Structure 1
């Protein structure tokens, strides 16, 4: 021994019964320990001798033998333990001992403490002390024993090859491999040393080197030994097959397995490696046959019919319950898939009690419709830790079966007095309130596996048995786990809990009820958020009312748990994220009640950040608050402002802004003495100003939005005289306000702008170039028909739009677009460039504007003319305006056939403009129209004069500004609308 303080006491304690019952001497040879090893040894014997290690195991063995005085020598190592001392005592007192010279014991090599990994071999350990017995070999020393032999079942546990201890294994590998290589230098054809070296390399996971050395050993056996004597080298064959399988050389492994099985048909390991190799090669039938042969030998081993003592000097790897379980699993699965269930059942008995066995038992017996044996197997499980595993597996199998089968299996399991039997009794009766009550009263659900016992809640609800008291006894985490399982199983029960959260009346200080509601609500919302990631509208519509109850319960819960008076200063240091979330909502609500809206929104934002799982819900709350605030502001403003306006004509424009026209008209109307306001439902669109803003896109809850719009529209109808609608919109998205306006005898007109009515089939009759944004002409016609039936008057800017709306409204009025020429004016100090003029184009709708034709023309002209071309895109309206002011030429659109708002803005800033004016429409415009008309065919030619002549650009710029001032100035257009309002006012 050397430095064996961790093993020695265990070793020597196991030998004490021998020393007490049989006349014995204990001899210990130490080769240089520097720990407590010698101190421990001397507690057991005085015969402790010291010899310096000389790298030769046999020398040390023989040194210890030289001190022996007894009739028998028992060789033992410090890292071993005698498993059955009494058994060895019986052997030593056995009368047949006198006829033996050597006694064999079985050795179990324990490879791991973490997992049960053992291998067996037979070892000669007791030798008659005749003065000539000795060991040979420097490593893996071999005893030169004499016959006759006595085989025993006495077992030694060997701990020296614990693979969990990497440092120990590395140390042993280096020592052993060095000694073996040293010996092989002396005797290169020593089969035994080659075999041992191969094993050492395999244990070290050097599979390639391992294969090289074992092949050398095998080849020497084949070369030097005849067929009759090869059987004595079965250990070489066995190791060769094992190493071949590690190297995934399965074809060769099969060949060698068959070769050794002809010599030694009971070599169990070979049947296993043969099966494993066949399986890896996809030879399933061969694999199953070999697995069955292996299992038969394993069965012989269990029944003491297989004598391992015939395999001396080698390790048996396959006598392992884990291997037997894995092997039988393959056979069971094979027959199960072939639907030969009786055959599958035969092989389950080889499997240890484990999850796979439970599954095999229940799946096979279910197929055979033999339900009682499943329950019998369950009730007789030796490993009680498997009970919850068995139940989990069975519940999964039940989820795949018809209800009738579930009922039959439940009946089989309802016989007994354990919890699972009680549960199955409930499942059989379903609505027996007495059984449900007994189970609920008798069990702590906090300590029960929720699969399957959460189903008791399902049965309790269906039996109309109250569950609130049960949930109040559960922890927050268990409530959430339980409710998640319940609502995943049943949509109806999900509805039950939604109603529970929404309708359960809980006092503010009812801690447990608020806690339960908050826990349930949390699960419902997290589930809903997960399900509706792509559809926020669905989340909003379904859970708006529910969110108020859930969040209020959460706030009440934390208010009963913490001192809320000073919580604002303390919450940031809290660890419990969900509690922190509720506290922030509490603080936000408190801030709102005091009028601190900004503080409230800051708290809501922080709540969404610290609990992102419910960020969508918080956003919904914020949106509802903002929406409600916006609505209330509009209602109050309408009430106060219209009352203050007195008897003046009151005009409301809405509900979408088109190129700032609504805002300009409203301002122009107010400048001419009319009380006018603008209302937009899309305030984020280009950020144009409106007097009243209500964002219908921000709130995905359509029911809430419709309710708010109804309130706004009723207030507006009550207080305004004229309703000037734009782009096919009205006060409600479904236009249900139009009959109310008609009934209230209000003046109503619809103002069309272009893409809202433009139809390709009509436009192409007089304009071959035109493109449209909306291809669904039937939809446009249906909308025009509906608007025409409800509104008598409409407005268009020119005869191009007239072509689309004629025939739908009783009265069509022509009023041009408007512009504020004070805002759009020539840049002070700007002079048109005589060289390298700047040409700009804004491709806001490239296909509609014909951008590709402009780009083609510019590319061609650049070969001849020196100018700068600029595409204005991804700019704010103000940024774009500043760029236009710096331009020499503005290219607008080439397809529509009439001019739009950008054209007005450009002319107002004194810029020469190129855009397409169709001849059919040109006739309706004033004669002095200073626009250079160009279409895709003529744009190149139209640009050339302007590129060449800066004076022409200057002249057209001046004419353009005068044209806009005379025909489109906001005050002029406002007066035209006032005249129109007076004519249509009922």
Structure 2
């Protein structure tokens, strides 16, 4: 056969305007070579596919779609005059075009008839760590005999020897955000498959492909129904025959797992592993099924087997098997396996083993949290700091500091200071925080520096510990005015936890000493006052309830002040004349409570006791945290009236 070109790139497309340009751009290094031709068959596009194709080739041909994939493929290669046929689809592209070009142009390929690439199919557009991998022959010697067979999911009829490569073709066809396009693709493929199954209902491959079509379509229940039918066809076959259909086991177990059929998942995984002991997907799914059913030790055994196969995968025969799609070679699956194994060893106090597995993973919050625990358990404090310094993401850094602070609470003060000493020279918020912990003489200066440099609304709550060192009311009021109510309450809750009665007493006295210093129209000061009073009251009532005591008189007085300052806030934020109409629709629980209490006061002032009682009951229902304070309050205003 006389060849005009070295390579003929053959494509069959229809309505691929969203993908085609990306595909053809990845082929540019080929298209710039005069010995490469690009042949595109369009089977009836109604979008801009044809316009895009014309920019890249003059060899654009039109053939009406006839529901036969192989026939269309064969038409495309019939135009080819190249020595080699390179088949690629419009929703694919080369991951490394130059590497692929050098492989096909510069290598001596005379000893081969077929070249196999790896098809990397992304399952989620927003997360490139989730994909499947399928070895697939894509380049064939154009000897006049090569062809495709099969109406749908066409199969290339090729010759050995085969050259296995690590070339990756990225496939985006499974994640189209064009629902109408995906619907058309599904209906087209499923319709053809159903017609083929009418002719040959015991064809396990077509039955499997129908299940795969439903899977791509996102219908997991229908997928399970169809894959069970495929399995039923081969269920009574010999092991030798079943091995020929090992391709269906991965889809079966994943779908059974998704449908919460865990016993079925485990059974089919075990059978598949017996047929093909290198099938790492089966070990991965089996491990997760054992996790869900509470058999953690078995889960870890299978995760370890998965990891062993993963580390030698490129050298395993199964890695070249073009019939088996692997879904668990992706980084998300690898992370899942290693993290579960590391967590298991940590829980079993085998910290060195846990560390070994965890080190292999990319940085994520859950990994960093566990790594922090392990490094502290192993007393590797220098490495703890080194690990922290290598983090370059604000979110991960802050989560790591939260982990450090949570862990060191369990340690002696000497070790806490030792760790703080390691971090104190860091030029960041945690470095300055660590310095404040250790400083004796200049603590106030450092705290003021911290408060001026960093936004308290944007920091993890543990940084509120610095307020325990402040004894200047002005710093409290100035600092607290800068934070929103939610954050302020968290800081106050941190400061007056049950182990620190000193801070609770200090903040109580802070409120009492400032009760007459705040103007009624100073919204921010009233807001801060209410937020602090609210937490102190709730904490005090929790303690009184646990000890079955009445609320101390001083907290009853504080409740009166809380209402007074709360009413000031209401008058600033709302039209106080209309609160009777709006309070019931509020989503802000505390504002709603304060409005009801304002209506209680108003009803008392108007001597409408019956209405006041109604509102008091409503307040108790709305804000049960204040139950004890409300009981004491009602004694003051209702005397012996029971509400």
Per the normalisation by structure 1, the TM-score is 0.55
Equivalents in 1 of 2:483, 2:256: separation in Å?
A: 57
Distance 1:549 1:104, change over 3 A: same
Shift of 1:538: 2.3
Equivalents in 2 of 1:335, 1:242: separation in Å?
A: 26
Distance 1:49 1:583, change over 3 A: same
Equivalents in 1 of 2:597, 2:210: separation in Å?
A: 72
Shift of 1:112: 1.8
The answer to whether residue 233 in structure 2 is matched with residue 210 in structure 1 is: no
The secondary structure found in structure 2 opposite 1:374 is helix
Distance 1:201 1:447, change over 3 A: closer
The secondary structure found in structure 2 opposite 1:410 is helix
Shift of 1:135: 0.9
The answer to whether residue 556 in structure 2 is matched with residue 539 in structure 1 is: no
- Whether the 8 Å contact between 2:570 and 2:576 is mirrored in structure 1 is no
Shift of 1:286: 5.1
Equivalents in 2 of 1:163, 1:129: separation in Å?
A: 33
Equivalents in 2 of 1:311, 1:459: separation in Å?
A: 66
Shift of 1:295: 1.7
The answer to whether residue 79 in structure 2 is matched with residue 67 in structure 1 is: yes
Match of 1:57 among 69, 72, 90: 69
Distance 1:195 1:457, change over 3 A: same
Equivalents in 1 of 2:14, 2:169: separation in Å?
A: 20
Match of 2:170 in 1: 157
Shift of 1:276: 4.7
Match of 1:473 among 470, 482, 494: 482
The secondary structure found in structure 1 opposite 2:480 is helix
- Whether the 8 Å contact between 2:121 and 2:131 is mirrored in structure 1 is yes
- Whether the 8 Å contact between 2:283 and 2:303 is mirrored in structure 1 is yes
Distance 1:145 1:553, change over 3 A: same
**1:803-831 alpha-carbon deviations (Å, 9 max, x no partner):** xxxxxxxxxxxxxxxxxxxxxxxxxxxxx
Match of 1:438 in 2: 449
Distance 1:195 1:573, change over 3 A: closer
The answer to whether residue 449 in structure 2 is matched with residue 407 in structure 1 is: no
- 1:550-561 residue pairs with structure 2 within 5 A? 550-557=562-569, 561=572
**1:868-913 alpha-carbon deviations (Å, 9 max, x no partner):** xxxxxxxxxxxxxxxxxxxxxxxxxxxxxxxxxxxxxxxxxxxxxx
Match of 1:180 in 2: 193
Equivalents in 2 of 1:531, 1:282: separation in Å?
A: 38
Shift of 1:56: 0.9
- Whether the 8 Å contact between 2:210 and 2:226 is mirrored in structure 1 is no
Match of 2:367 in 1: 357
Match of 1:568 in 2: 577
- RMSD (CA atoms): 4.0
Shift of 1:213: 1.0
Match of 2:330 in 1: 320
Per the normalisation by structure 2, the TM-score is 0.81
Equivalents in 1 of 2:424, 2:305: separation in Å?
A: 40
Distance 1:218 1:174, change over 3 A: farther
Match of 1:254 among 266, 270, 278: 270
Match of 2:3 in 1: none
Shift of 1:61: 0.9
Equivalents in 2 of 1:238, 1:536: separation in Å?
A: 60
- Whether the 8 Å contact between 1:502 and 1:545 is mirrored in structure 2 is no
Equivalents in 1 of 2:521, 2:194: separation in Å?
A: 81
**1:799-858 alpha-carbon deviations (Å, 9 max, x no partner):** xxxxxxxxxxxxxxxxxxxxxxxxxxxxxxxxxxxxxxxxxxxxxxxxxxxxxxxxxxxx
Shift of 1:208: 4.1
Distance 1:20 1:500, change over 3 A: same
The secondary structure found in structure 2 opposite 1:288 is helix
- Whether the 8 Å contact between 1:585 and 1:607 is mirrored in structure 2 is yes
Shift of 1:119: 0.7
Equivalents in 1 of 2:626, 2:292: separation in Å?
A: 51
Match of 2:145 among 132, 135, 139: 132
Match of 2:496 in 1: 487
Distance 1:309 1:87, change over 3 A: farther
Shift of 1:184: 4.7
Distance 1:238 1:219, change over 3 A: farther
- Whether the 8 Å contact between 1:218 and 1:237 is mirrored in structure 2 is no
Equivalents in 1 of 2:136, 2:396: separation in Å?
A: 37
Shift of 1:443: 1.5
514-523 vs 156-165, which deviates more? Answer: 156-165
Match of 1:515 in 2: 527
Equivalents in 2 of 1:384, 1:569: separation in Å?
A: 45
Match of 1:548 in 2: 560
Match of 1:36 in 2: 48
- Whether the 8 Å contact between 2:17 and 2:52 is mirrored in structure 1 is yes
Match of 1:598 in 2: 607
Equivalents in 1 of 2:69, 2:303: separation in Å?
A: 40
Equivalents in 1 of 2:609, 2:488: separation in Å?
A: 30
Shift of 1:605: 6.6
Distance 1:427 1:534, change over 3 A: closer
- Whether the 8 Å contact between 1:271 and 1:291 is mirrored in structure 2 is yes
Equivalents in 1 of 2:609, 2:596: separation in Å?
A: 9
- Whether the 8 Å contact between 2:269 and 2:283 is mirrored in structure 1 is no
- Whether the 8 Å contact between 1:508 and 1:556 is mirrored in structure 2 is no
Distance 1:165 1:541, change over 3 A: farther
Equivalents in 2 of 1:535, 1:597: separation in Å?
A: 38
- Whether the 8 Å contact between 1:433 and 1:465 is mirrored in structure 2 is no
- Whether the 8 Å contact between 2:596 and 2:618 is mirrored in structure 1 is no
Match of 2:437 in 1: 427
Equivalents in 1 of 2:229, 2:245: separation in Å?
A: 18
- Whether the 8 Å contact between 1:440 and 1:470 is mirrored in structure 2 is yes
The secondary structure found in structure 1 opposite 2:119 is strand
Between structure 1 and structure 2, the one with the greater Rg is: 1
- Whether the 8 Å contact between 1:514 and 1:553 is mirrored in structure 2 is yes
Shift of 1:409: 3.4
**1:164-189 alpha-carbon deviations (Å, 9 max, x no partner):** 77766665454434433444555566
- Whether the 8 Å contact between 1:446 and 1:478 is mirrored in structure 2 is yes
Distance 1:600 1:515, change over 3 A: farther
Match of 2:5 in 1: none
The answer to whether residue 155 in structure 2 is matched with residue 142 in structure 1 is: yes
- Whether the 8 Å contact between 1:58 and 1:135 is mirrored in structure 2 is yes
Equivalents in 2 of 1:154, 1:221: separation in Å?
A: 36
Shift of 1:514: 3.2
Equivalents in 1 of 2:235, 2:422: separation in Å?
A: 58
The secondary structure found in structure 2 opposite 1:71 is strand
109-118 vs 192-201, which deviates more? Answer: 192-201
Shift of 1:148: 3.1
Equivalents in 2 of 1:569, 1:251: separation in Å?
A: 66
